[in-house]
Every structure is written in structure tokens, then in C-alpha cells.
Chains A and B, each alone.
Chain A
């Protein structure tokens, strides 16, 4: 059963990713990106990460994607005739060769490493949100605060960048 869901989520997310890159109309690309985000959140559920699933749906699909669609509709872009980079054929072959090489490496190497301190049974006992919260506000508290300051800086930067420029005071400059 898990295998069926994994196959569905992974195949649809890959297809949606390819559509995001390949579609012509930017709004269609945004909608394909939405499908990609939702199916990636399905993969998170399969991996016992329910809190990340909720964050993915609420923050990514709900906030970031709406921001993209807002800007797309604000700019009212026309579909361009030549929508690929003029030299894209030069990038295509190296990317294919590189991806095949990486895939061959991935399937050849088995995984065996040291286990951590959070097995699935311990996470499922209190829920993933509890586990993430305990870890976040004990070991990762400093990083959490840094991310908060980073988001504040990003907000201020976005406001300053997108502000309407003041008209120049011509009389005073003379």
C-alpha cells in the first residue's frame, strides 16, 4: 500500500515539475507548481512528517504560491513567442548526462549509517508535531531565532524594494 502511494506521489510530482518548467503560460506553470507542492507534501506524510505536511500545505501552497500568482496577475504577462533561452540546446545534453550519472550512482550505493535518537515508534507515540516542537525549542533555539530575524530582514527588504520611488524634487536641486 505504501508502495502504491509512493509511486503515485513521486510520479505525479515529477510530472508536475516537468510541466512547471515546460509550460508556456506562466499561470499554468504556477498551477503545475501547486500540484508539485501538494504531492511532495504527500511524500512527507509517507515519511511520518505530518507537521511538515501541514507546513508545506499552509506556507508553501497557501502563502508562497499565492504570492507568485499575485505577482503574475499584477504584471499581466503576455505569453512570449520564444519562451526558452536561445541557447537551451547546449544545456540539455549535459543536464541529461549528469542526471543519468547521478541516478546510476544513487542506485549503486546501499544506505548504511549510524541511527539517531528518534525512531518511528518514539515519534508516533506523541505525534510528529510534539517531537518537532521539543527539538526546535531546545537544540535548535538559536537557529529558530536567526530564521526569525532573517524573515524580518526579508520583509523589510521587499517593502523597500517594491516601494514606489519618490518623485524628484526638481526645484530644490537647482
Chain B
């Protein structure tokens, strides 16, 4: 279970997260919704360990382990996965090589045997088929020349192959058409189970029609201002963030 208590973080001396309290029990999918600039992406990056954010207070633990004290790669090995809002291009790095390097690094950190090229390709092909991702996406350089939708699908493919225990999806729905959105949702839904949790960060309710969350949290001004069931997403869609935030204040 992910437990965030009083988490505060700065970027360049400006406080963005002003005391986040949030708990995602194992097996649950929670959504974090909020207006632009509310700190959603900062929360995602702080949890994944990006070093241009300074944590100034509070804690974040995953299955009792202090996440904030770990290097980003150790967080990944512990089972955390961040699907990037803007996936990064890696010219000169083949996608298959990238995925196998990532998978084997994680397996090594967990004391599991590494996969050879043949074993890996078998696994990767099974996942590309399941997610309706064309096989040639494995041959191309990571995210280079990918459309917005292809980049997001590639994030979901990575997630499917790395099998995290906790996935954070940072606005994975932004810029997606409905077909790509369904593929992304399908990718998350097939991982759902008693050992998988997810934090779905989104601006819109649209994605939550396809990934039904157990809980919805509203993030505004660097704090969680409201929490509720899936119906909260519809309420936000109908009345807007301003009214919900005002009501909470």
C-alpha cells in the first residue's frame, strides 16, 4: 500500500505540494484529479524520484518502505512505475533493447534471473499482441518519431512488460483519441488484481469511464481538498474544479 503523509515539495524555492495526505491500499485504483498547476505532475515526479524537486516535509512509503530515500531505479525495483505525461525520446536506443535492459535491471535488483534475447522477445511479442501494439514499435528507436498516441501506448507496453506493483499514470490520456484511450485503459485494467495498485492522474473524467477508480481525490493548490467514490469524477465534470475547491475551502 502507498501511504503519503503531509508531503511537501518545492521547485526552485516555490512550494508546489503543501502537505499531501493520500493512501492507496493494495489492489485499488485511485484517481487524482485537479486543475492545471495544482501539483498533479509534481506529485508523480516526486514519487518517482526526479531530483529537480526538493522534498521539504512529510513522507511517502510503499509497502512500508520509505520511497523518498531510494534512488529512482531502486523505486522501480521496488515495484513503482511512472507512465510519463511526456515520454522521452531516446535516439539511437532500440525499443526492444531499452525494454530488455529495463526488465533485466529490475530482475537483477530483485535477485531474479535475467532474460536472454529470445525469452525476452517472446514475452514482448505476447504483450504487443495483447495491447494491439504493432510489432515494429519494438524495432524503432524509443519514442523517436512516435505520434502522441504511440508514445502513450509505448508507456503502457513498458508497464505491461515491467509488471509494476504500483503504477502512476501522469495524464496518460492527454492528447489521445478514443481508440488509443481504450488501449491505455485496457492495459491498466488487465493488470488490475489483488497485488496491483494504481494512481491515475488526470485532468478529465473521460479516462475514468474506462478505468473505473475505487476512489477519486481532488488536488488543488498543492493539497487534497476532497476525496470520494467514482461519482466524484462526474460531479467535477458537471460543476468544474472551482466549485469543488470552493466548497472544500
- The reply to whether chain A is a binding partner of chain B is no
